[in-house]
Amino acid sequence: MPDRRHRTLRLLPAVLCAVICGSLGFGQQDAAMEKQMDSLFSKYGASTPGVAVGIVRDGKVVLLKGYGTASLEHGVPVTATTVFQAASVSKQFTAFAVYLLEKQGKLSLEDDIRTYLPELPDFGKSIRIKHLLAHTSGIRDQAALLTLAGWRMDDVMTTEQALRVIRRQRALNFEPGSAYLYSNSGYLLLAEIVRHVSGRTFAEFTRQNIFDPLHMSNTRFSDDHETIIKNRADSYFREKGAYKRVNLNDSIVGPSNLYTTAEDMAKWALNLEKPIAGDRELIAKFNEPSLLDNGDRVVYYSLPGDVGYYAKGQVRRTYRGLEVLSHGGHSGGFRSSFWRFPGQHFAFVLLSNDEHFAQLDHAEAVTDFSLTDLLQPKKNAEGSTGGTSQALPAAKASLSDFEGRFYSPELDATYTARVLNGKLSLTHLRHGDIQLTEVNKDSFTGRIEFPAQFEFQRDSAGQVVELRISNFGAKNVKFRKLPR
């Protein structure tokens, strides 16, 4: 018969788990909540990708559940411990890491970023850490630049590749602190600053200072797309009635590449209510809307009766009368949504491996059920106040005016403009022929992985001498016309 000491040792793991899980607020599943979520996500099953749900209320986890399939090839179901790519939900962890270093007195948000990253270009204006956090730096987006340089979205994209193209830039989208434009480059540079200041890799710093203290054991930043991650879901899109797997080759940490679970994100939500990592003062600053240099709040979006302000990896706004901090993410076929209602002590996460997952619609449905007695009535959708955009009549100039080769030293990339079948096209070695649609004199639209605008510039004699390309995150990238 085993003695008391051996019985005590056998019980110890269970006791420790009870203490840890209890301190993190893991409570009983809410039966009504579970029934509602079962209905909301009933379309997901054994033949579809899926979604994992984590819901927290009043300091307790009230629902953790998976729907659908994590691997259609192997028939693995989604659970609360299935690992998903969180995409841009990653950004709030990057921002939090910066705030932890500020709390430790190792940096200031007012510091010029070249203090830590002197290899970056001197744009003639001071770019501060706070500008990176708020997307007000003016630095062009890395994906916007890499695609213009010839990368396709299914190519491998590494931190070094992104840094190399950022270092080649000689212009900004705008003066730092004067405007807002979402830029993944800013959060890559923040991760680099964390690495420089802490002396550890970004993945190590976040693990030691955020994930380990919160027992987020299935969460990590991954800077290697070939790394094996246990329980990771594959992501999918649907084409012609069949699901296809999306290959995700992005290895850049900071703006993205957080791998996590619904269970771990519930722990993160609890931490933001009752902090173990950080403290209440830090979280209050973290939640505040960012400011432009003139003191105005940074507007993330503005619709009639609805304005969202950017707050360091989070968007602060009002939903049906209640203040919410939220952010979504989309990378490959992964979709994510994380919403917090601090005043109601309520939060939830949705993680999906379905490219077509309607994350906003589902997030609103979860909120509408969970906080129904506190929400104001829904407003009727208001029509757009702007007119419909229409192409202007074609310019009188001959399309042959635009033919030639155009080179960008900032991207080390060349496009050839030529007339094909009566239409102007740009040709690139990797992107092939890109057909342009004329919208005004010397102005065209087209698509290089993303929608883009193309503006040809003329000299005083009326000769085309330059092409400027803009897309979602890089404005007026210059390509000079090469001699014939």
**Any idea what the CATH number is for the domain that residue 412 is in?**
2.40.128.50
CA 314 to chain centre: 10
The sign of the CA dihedral 310, 313, 319, 324 is negative
Q: Are residues 191 and 252 in the same domain?
A: yes
**Any idea what the CATH number is for the domain that residue 224 is in?**
3.40.710.10
Characterize the bridge pairing of strands 84-85 and 220-221.
unpaired
Assess if residue 244 is contained within a domain. Answer: yes
CA angle 326, 327, 333 (to 5 degrees): 145
Assess if residue 187 is contained within a domain. Answer: yes
The sign of the CA dihedral 369, 374, 375, 376 is positive
Assess if residue 50 is contained within a domain. Answer: no
Q: Are residues 414 and 358 in the same domain?
A: no
Alpha-carbon distance of 5 to 14, in angstroms, equals 15
Give the domain extent around 309.
84-138+173-370
Last residue of a domain, one of 370, 387, 408: 370
Which residues make Cβ contacts (< 8 Å) with residue 95, sequence separation at least 6? 133, 187, 190, 286, 312, 313
Alpha-carbon distance of 221 to 85, in angstroms, equals 9
Domain count, the chain: 2
Q: Look at residue 379 in the predicted model and tell me its pLDDT.
A: 77
Q: Look at residue 378 in the predicted model and tell me its pLDDT.
A: 86
Question: By three-state DSSP, how is residue 262 classified?
Answer: helix
Q: Are residues 355 and 403 in the same domain?
A: no
CA 279 to chain centre: 25
Q: Are residues 314 and 193 in the same domain?
A: yes
Q: Are residues 295 and 343 in the same domain?
A: yes
Which residues make Cβ contacts (< 8 Å) with residue 158, sequence separation at least 6? 223, 251, 252
Q: Are residues 234 and 329 in the same domain?
A: yes
Alpha-carbon distance of 251 to 255, in angstroms, equals 11
Q: Are residues 419 and 473 in the same domain?
A: yes
Assess if residue 229 is contained within a domain. Answer: yes
pLDDT averaged over 10-residue windows placed end to end, the chain, 484 residues: 41 40 54 95 98 98 98 98 98 99 98 98 98 99 96 92 97 98 98 98 99 99 94 96 93 97 99 98 98 98 93 97 98 97 98 97 98 90 41 61 97 97 94 96 96 97 97 97 93
Assess if residue 333 is contained within a domain. Answer: yes
Q: Are residues 92 and 191 in the same domain?
A: yes
The sign of the CA dihedral 133, 135, 136, 142 is positive
